[in-house]
């Protein structure tokens, strides 16, 4: 081989070999990560979900496309928390499939035995509600393309958990429990307001000025074990801290009646209306695409009453968190001091920016105020032992909102359109009012009062009709008809349920009576004896049966006067023994159908 033929050989007078034709630099393709689905929620929070980390690679392509639809703009998982919950269920599903004896390598390999094994695994470790939730999440995902075209419909139907949700939601707080929670929260917020508006001690003024300027607290020269307390002591003279959030949120939920998630999403966008109200922008979750954003108008109230009105509380906290907000670029409503222990660096920020949890224990706040529940437990005794003590009260923001909704509904007299504030009427009734013990007790009282009013009106109508015919009370003779002076006595069967002293002369018209036998209970000619008692009891049973097939208003209008006449004018004249004896002789034929036209029978 000649030296010139060797690759890359150069020398004096020999140029380096050059490529023939035009040279163009090859474009560099950016590296992409396969099967990564980006999530951007309606609340602005973001997350990357790597489908490639799940087992069974044959599923990854279809899962990535289906998951992108599930959490995309047209999907139903629109918050980071809901997306993370769905992702946890998907991960459990895939790991369960991979751990089976013959795992399906692709969606088309899924068989009924795999689905049954998944269901059995869920039922062995979870309750019925959790099983239903997991199956529902997977059913929605598998019904999306391309998984819907690769898995048979009969298999996908096994994930549609058709069962009625019988879980009873927790009731609202009792009046005493609610008063104790609100009093504790209002007291803490009052202390926070006083603390932040009080002039700092002379010895701390230079350090506090630095804290206000930087948002960070230094602990130079402070013993190691005392640094946390020192940093917190200085910071809480300028900023609201994370520990202050529980009473503030509780008071917000109580005064506004909105969910705590909506309170955590408050913004600084607002408009004061003539000094008496403030209009604020709200984010209402769980309303579906396009219905998240709205506004509410909250009363401000009089000066000094900021902790009792929603608008006053909103503006108060807006002012108290201003020092921390001035140090942030995005100017959120919630701006608090986020301490970082003994070493730092500490900072100020929005505690709900990444997630809506506060990382603060509700239980610690309850224990600090020694709040007790109305429920009792027995210590060292049997179930019937009278020695008992109240258990610790558990703070739940959904229960707190339910308590507010219940009391607002009661305040407006049960008129649901006026009681709705943050929910629709069906949601308010189904999720907040129905099943609540205080609501049931209040509704029973309302119904009892309404029934008492209707009964009184019916009895007054009976007395008025009887008075018009010449009597003040119905003639009742418990010892029989022998002592009754009659011009032309009739048997009980002829008059239905009583005897008539003068059938030929009605007390009002003087003519032959042509009224219904039901009108005999309001007539001066009517006489009731012990012989009529079995028929009267049968009539009462018939009237109660009619009550089930008629509206309440119609029943009281048609049968109410008769029912009250028997209950209040007739039966009290007989002894309990006579009534019991008549019950044994009560006939089944109560004759009610004979006194009404066929077309008027209910």
- Looking at the structure, tell me whether residues 96 and 122 fall in a common domain: yes
Spatial separation of the C-alpha atoms in residues 61 and 68, rounded to whole Å: 11
pLDDT over threshold 90, residue 223: no
- At residue 1, the pLDDT reads 44
CA-based nearest residue to 234, from 213, 220, 217: 217
pLDDT over threshold 50, residue 115: yes
* Cis peptide, bond prior to residue 200, ω within 30 of zero: no
pLDDT over threshold 70, residue 418: no
- At residue 541, the pLDDT reads 85
Q: State the Cα angle at 517 between 515 and 520, rounded to 5°.
A: 85
Provide the domain limits for residue 144.
36-157
pLDDT over threshold 50, residue 41: yes
- Looking at the structure, tell me whether residues 355 and 297 fall in a common domain: yes
Q: Who has greater pLDDT, 370 or 227?
A: 370
Radius of gyration, CA atoms only, the chain: 39
- At residue 325, the pLDDT reads 94
- Looking at the structure, tell me whether residues 187 and 112 fall in a common domain: no
pLDDT over threshold 80, residue 514: no
Q: State the Cα angle at 21 between 17 and 26, rounded to 5°.
A: 95
Do the domain assignments include residue 1? no
- Looking at the structure, tell me whether residues 143 and 248 fall in a common domain: no
Spatial separation of the C-alpha atoms in residues 365 and 244, rounded to whole Å: 10
- At residue 286, the pLDDT reads 55
Two structure tokens written together for 92: 């459990």
CA-based nearest residue to 86, from 98, 72, 100, 99: 72
- Looking at the structure, tell me whether residues 274 and 349 fall in a common domain: yes
- At residue 211, the pLDDT reads 86
pLDDT over threshold 80, residue 430: no
Residues whose CB is less than 8 angstroms from the CB of residue 389 and which lie 6 or more positions away in sequence, other chains included: 376, 377, 379
Helices (H), 469-570: 492-495, 533-547, 552-564
User: pLDDT of 147-165, one tens digit each?
Assistant: 999 999 988 998 886 655 4
Over the chain, what is the mean pLDDT?
A: 79
Q: State the Cα angle at 245 between 45 and 173, rounded to 5°.
A: 105
Do the domain assignments include residue 475? yes
- Looking at the structure, tell me whether residues 194 and 138 fall in a common domain: no
Given 326, 342, 360, the domain boundary residue is: 360
Given 130, 157, 184, the domain boundary residue is: 157
Torsion of CA 337, 339, 344, 345, to 10 degrees: -30
Place of tokens 């991960």: 91
Q: 21, exposed or middle or buried, with CB in 10 Å at 0-12, 13-18, 19+?
A: exposed
- Looking at the structure, tell me whether residues 471 and 589 fall in a common domain: yes
- At residue 118, the pLDDT reads 87
Most confident of 88-102, 183-197, 526-540, 560-574: 183-197
Do the domain assignments include residue 426? no
- Looking at the structure, tell me whether residues 124 and 255 fall in a common domain: no
Two structure tokens written together for 466: 């009887």
Cα–Cα separations (whole angstroms), residue 549 to 363, 493, 535, 561, 567 = 51, 27, 22, 18, 21
- Looking at the structure, tell me whether residues 76 and 190 fall in a common domain: no
Is-contact 404 182, C-beta < 8 A? no
Do the domain assignments include residue 409? no
User: Which whole number is the average pLDDT over 430-452?
Assistant: 64
Is-contact 520 496, C-beta < 8 A? yes
- Which of 111-120, 340-349, 425-434 is least confident? 425-434
Helix (H, G, I), strand (E, B) or coil at 348: strand
Q: 76, exposed or middle or buried, with CB in 10 Å at 0-12, 13-18, 19+?
A: exposed
User: pLDDT of 464-502, one tens digit each?
Assistant: 888 887 777 888 887 644 444 444 344 434 567 888 887
Helices (H), 5-111: 60-71, 80-98
- At residue 374, the pLDDT reads 82
Is-contact 193 244, C-beta < 8 A? no
- Which of 183-187, 383-387, 529-533 is least confident? 383-387
pLDDT over threshold 80, residue 232: yes
Do the domain assignments include residue 27? no
pLDDT > 90 in the chain, percent: 26
Spatial separation of the C-alpha atoms in residues 237 and 194, rounded to whole Å: 10
Helix (H, G, I), strand (E, B) or coil at 381: coil
CA-based nearest residue to 585, from 538, 524, 529: 538
End-to-end CA distance of the chain: 118
CB atoms within 10 A of CB 134: 22
- Looking at the structure, tell me whether residues 491 and 557 fall in a common domain: yes
Is-contact 474 521, C-beta < 8 A? yes
Spatial separation of the C-alpha atoms in residues 51 and 209, rounded to whole Å: 50
Given 304, 327, 360, the domain boundary residue is: 360
Is-contact 83 41, C-beta < 8 A? yes
User: Which whole number is the average pLDDT over 169-174?
Assistant: 79
Do the domain assignments include residue 592? yes
* 3-class DSSP string for 149-181: HHCCHHHHHCCCCCCCCCCCCCCCCCHHHHHHH
- Which of 103-117, 141-155, 534-548 is least confident? 534-548
Do the domain assignments include residue 563? yes
User: pLDDT of 300-350, one tens digit each?
Assistant: 999 888 999 999 999 999 999 999 999 998 889 999 998 765 555 678 889
* pLDDT class of 23 with cuts at 50, 70, 90: low
- Looking at the structure, tell me whether residues 182 and 133 fall in a common domain: no
* pLDDT class of 110 with cuts at 50, 70, 90: very high
User: pLDDT of 369-386, one tens digit each?
Assistant: 999 888 755 455 444 444
Strands 277-283 and 270-273, sheet pairing: antiparallel
- Looking at the structure, tell me whether residues 474 and 572 fall in a common domain: yes
- Which of 128-142, 183-197, 247-261, 339-353 is least confident? 339-353
The strand pairing partners of 338, in sequence order, are 347
Do the domain assignments include residue 166? no
Provide the domain count of the chain.
3
CA-based nearest residue to 63, from 39, 35, 82: 35
Spatial separation of the C-alpha atoms in residues 282 and 290, rounded to whole Å: 13
């Amino acid at each position: 081989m000649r030296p010139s033929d060797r690759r890359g050989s150069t020398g004096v007078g020999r140029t380096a070999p050059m490529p023939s034709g035009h040279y163009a630099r090859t474009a560099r393709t950016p590296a992409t990560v396969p099967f990564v689905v980006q999530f951007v929620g309606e609340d602005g929070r973001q997350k990357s979900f790597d489908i490639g980390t799940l087992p069974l690679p044959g599923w990854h392509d279809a899962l990535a496309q289906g998951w992108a639809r599930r959490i995309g703009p047209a999907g139903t998982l629109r918050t980071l928390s809901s997306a993370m919950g769905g992702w946890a269920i998907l991960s459990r599903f895939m790991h369960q499939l991979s751990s089976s004896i013959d795992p399906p390598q692709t969606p088309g390999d899924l068989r009924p035995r795999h689905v049954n094994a998944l269901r059995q695994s869920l039922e062995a470790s979870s309750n019925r509600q959790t099983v239903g939730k997991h199956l529902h999440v997977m059913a929605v995902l598998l019904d999306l393309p391309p998984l819907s075209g690769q898995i048979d419909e009969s298999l996908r139907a096994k994930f549609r958990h058709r069962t009625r949700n019988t879980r009873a939601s927790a009731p609202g707080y009792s009046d005493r429990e609610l008063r104790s929670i609100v009093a504790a929260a209002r007291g803490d917020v009052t202390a926070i307001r006083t603390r932040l508006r009080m002039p700092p001690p002379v010895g701390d003024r230079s350090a506090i000025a630095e804290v206000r300027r930087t948002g960070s607290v230094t602990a130079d020269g402070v013993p190691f074990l005392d640094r946390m307390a020192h940093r917190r002591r200085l910071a809480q003279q300028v900023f609201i801290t994370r520990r202050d959030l529980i009473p503030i949120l509780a008071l917000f939920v109580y005064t506004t009646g909105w969910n705590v998630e909506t309170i955590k999403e408050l913004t600084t966008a607002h408009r004061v209306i003539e000094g008496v109200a403030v209009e604020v922008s709200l984010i209402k979750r769980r309303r579906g695409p396009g219905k998240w954003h709205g506004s509410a108008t909250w009363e401000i109230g009089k000066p000094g009453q900021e902790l009792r009105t929603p608008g006053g509380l909103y503006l108060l906290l807006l002012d108290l968190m201003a020092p921390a907000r001035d140090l942030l670029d995005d100017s959120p409503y919630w701006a608090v001091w986020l301490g970082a222990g003994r070493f730092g660096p500490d900072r100020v920020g929005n505690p709900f920016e990444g997630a809506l949890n506060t990382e603060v224990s509700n239980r610690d706040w309850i224990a600090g105020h020694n709040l007790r529940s109305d429920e009792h437990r027995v210590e060292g005794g049997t179930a019937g032992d009278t020695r008992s003590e109240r258990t610790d009260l558990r703070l739940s923001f959904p229960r707190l909102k339910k308590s507010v909704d219940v009391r607002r509904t009661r305040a407006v007299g049960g008129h649901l359109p006026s009681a709705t504030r943050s929910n629709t009427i069906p949601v308010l009734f189904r999720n907040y009012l129905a099943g609540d013990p205080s609501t049931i007790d209040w509704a029973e009282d309302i119904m009892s009062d309404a029934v008492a009013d209707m009964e009184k009106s019916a009895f007054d109508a009976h007395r008025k009709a009887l008075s018009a015919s010449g009597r003040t009370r119905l003639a009742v003779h418990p010892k029989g008809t022998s002592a009754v002076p009659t011009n032309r006595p009739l048997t009980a069967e002829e008059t239905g349920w009583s005897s008539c002293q003068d059938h030929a002369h009605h007390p009002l018209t003087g003519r032959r009576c042509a009224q219904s036998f039901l009108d005999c209970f309001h007539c001066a000619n009517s006489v009731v004896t012990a012989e009529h008692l079995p028929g009267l009891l049968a009539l009462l049973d018939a009237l109660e049966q009619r009550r089930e097939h008629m509206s309440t208003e119609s029943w009281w209008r048609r049968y109410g006067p008769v029912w009250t006449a028997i209950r209040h004018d007739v039966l009290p004249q007989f002894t309990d023994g006579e009534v019991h004896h008549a019950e044994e002789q009560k006939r089944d034929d109560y004759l009610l159908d004979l006194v009404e036209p066929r077309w008027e029978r209910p």
